[in-house]
Amino acid sequence: MQIIWKSLLFTISIASLFGSMVLGQEVPQNWDEQSICDNVIFTLVGPESVILEEPYNYSLSVALLDSSSVLSDNISDVVVPQDIIQSTDVRYEFLFETRMLERSSEQDFSVTFSELWSYTLRAIIDYEWCDYTIEKTIVSYDDIFVYIGPYLDEFGLGIIQNMWQNGLFLRPFIVMNDTTTSGLVPSLRQHWSTIAHAQDIYFSLQNYSLIFDVLRLMDTDPSIDLSSKRIFIVDDMQKSIVKKFLARFARTLDTVWLYVVSSQEAINMFLQLSIGQTDYDENVLSSSYLQFSWSRISYSFGYVIDYLLFQWFPLDMLLLILSCVVAVLFIVFCKQILGFSSFGVYYPLLFAISLHVVWLKTSLFLLLIAFIARMTVIGFTRRFTLLATAKLWLQVVLYILFTVIGLVFVRWFGLIDSDFIVFTYPMTLFVYIAILLVASKLWTTSLTWFSMKQFSIIVFFLVLSWLSYLIIQSDWVHHIILLYPSTILFAIVVIVWLGRYTGLQLVEFVRFWPLIKYIKGKK
């Protein structure tokens, strides 16, 4: 009996050892068949919206849950473990409702859609001991249209549903106006194939730079042929103004067909599509088409502006230069007709430009520093006589010294941006010198704290500077000078006319009104 028991134990030990060796080769330690199947995710890559009579390819993409792969409709965005794809057996079934149309056992499935139907593409996958069945619904259309912009209330009237019934597909991407490229592109990439086959693309975004960043990205993709599409910019501004804003971007995309339509015209186009009419009004297309080309010789000043913008001259700088003409015209009118007493024409304009570049807080800070430097020089030269040139250079050095010290204090008290980002702009150096010149003119040796005349001059100076700043910042002024650049020539004529005015100014008229009334009474 003892011999039998020992023999049984020996047999069990040998069997256990042999079994563990065999299982060790087949299944790793802690290997769970069900968990492995759950960790492997297959995806059908290909468009969900297609156009009739166009060939489309569909393939498998695979990702692992413990990998850094990102599932996407674009196979180029997925890190594909090629060993899994190659060892996978797949059978495609292409169905309309329950009727089988095509079958295939190839790794890729190619199909051309010939009817306006809703199809189902089924992939039956056999990977080692894992079985998967995935399906993708595909809808075919006569044409595809893409809208990128804020939500339109008219979409709630059934425009999209009516287009579907008429064999047309409108894919709206609802985005906010402050969307950046990094926020918009990932959303578009999920439906990149739909955009690739779209006939028309509508952009209803105020950020033109964002629009052309997206278009340049599309232009680099060989699957998207921008030259075969029409790009509609939805904007309610006048076409001539929009063209000037777009000129600096359009040069990088010479082959793009650009159109500018108003929001109401875009809605009318969508309504037209919803009733099955795909041919737009030729008058609307011809009037909204943007053509960026100029002759070699032109006698129009607007030609010069358009050419500069097309050659990538900064639009912000051009607007600043042109709006300064309007500001100068306003200052001359206030001095010659209204009789505002201020320091010259240039100084209010220089301070207005400073407000535009570095904003109010920084401008007042630098103006205060310049005043302190000027006062220090005046107090010093009352005891020690210096030549005029030495005074000016001493003021410059003190201005720089006090600025550096003052920046430490404003940093401590948080009066200006903590990271001093405003001082990273190249124009800040111009502002820095301009405010020193303004302070030198405002604060002279003859100026005293209690002089009401000098105080009124400073008040008029600040008022003119602030009003000039509003003119420089005004969108209304920007639109006028871009639409009618020849107003600069008109400004020259008006300034000459104002320069010949020798009558009473408004301030003088109020000042001498008692005398005028007395003279009229004697008559």
Q: In this structure, what CATH number is given to the domain that contains residue 176?
A: 3.40.50
Give the chain's domain count.
3
The CA-atom distances, in angstroms, between 237 and each of 211, 270, 278, 475, 483 are 16, 20, 26, 11, 11
Assess contact for 142 and 53: CB atoms under 8 A. no
Tell me the Ramachandran region of residue 199: left when phi exceeds 0, alpha when psi lies from -120 to 50, beta otherwise.
alpha
Question: For the whole model, what pTM was predicted?
Answer: 0.60
Domain around 160: 143-288
Identify whether residues 252 and 279 lie together within a single domain: yes
Identify whether residues 219 and 193 lie together within a single domain: yes
Identify whether residues 378 and 326 lie together within a single domain: yes
Domain boundary among 253, 288, 323: 288
Residue 398 domain-assigned (yes or no): yes
Structure tokens at 468: 């000039």
Identify whether residues 148 and 137 lie together within a single domain: no
Identify whether residues 153 and 125 lie together within a single domain: no
Residue 481 domain-assigned (yes or no): yes
Residue 517 domain-assigned (yes or no): no
Residue 365 domain-assigned (yes or no): yes
Identify whether residues 468 and 342 lie together within a single domain: yes
Task: Specify the 3-state DSSP secondary structure of 272.
Answer: helix
Q: What is the spatial distance between Cα 367 and Cα 249, in angstroms, rounded to a whole number? A: 38
- Counted residue by residue, the chain has a size of 523
Identify whether residues 493 and 482 lie together within a single domain: yes
Residue 129 domain-assigned (yes or no): yes
For position 115, which CATH number holds? 2.60.40.10
Identify whether residues 278 and 326 lie together within a single domain: no
Residue 67 domain-assigned (yes or no): yes
Residue 309 domain-assigned (yes or no): no
DSSP state of 142: S
Task: Specify the 3-state DSSP secondary structure of 386.
Answer: coil
Per-residue pLDDT tens digits of the chain, which is 523 residues long: 555 555 555 555 555 544 544 444 444 444 455 556 777 788 888 888 888 877 888 888 887 765 444 444 443 444 456 667 777 888 898 888 778 888 888 888 888 887 877 889 998 888 877 888 888 888 888 888 999 988 888 887 788 888 888 888 888 888 876 667 777 888 888 788 888 888 899 999 888 888 888 888 888 888 888 888 899 999 888 777 787 778 777 767 767 888 988 888 888 888 888 888 877 877 778 888 877 655 444 556 777 777 777 777 777 888 888 899 999 989 888 888 888 877 767 888 888 988 888 888 888 888 889 888 888 888 888 888 888 888 888 988 999 999 999 888 888 877 776 567 777 777 788 888 888 888 777 766 445 455 667 777 778 888 889 999 999 998 888 888 887 888 888 888 888 888 888 777 777 777 777 777 777 777 6
**Amino acid, single-letter form, for residue 126:** D
Identify whether residues 363 and 405 lie together within a single domain: yes
Domain boundary among 89, 122, 141: 141
Identify whether residues 261 and 402 lie together within a single domain: no
Residue 516 domain-assigned (yes or no): no
Identify whether residues 320 and 243 lie together within a single domain: no
Domain boundary among 141, 168, 202: 141
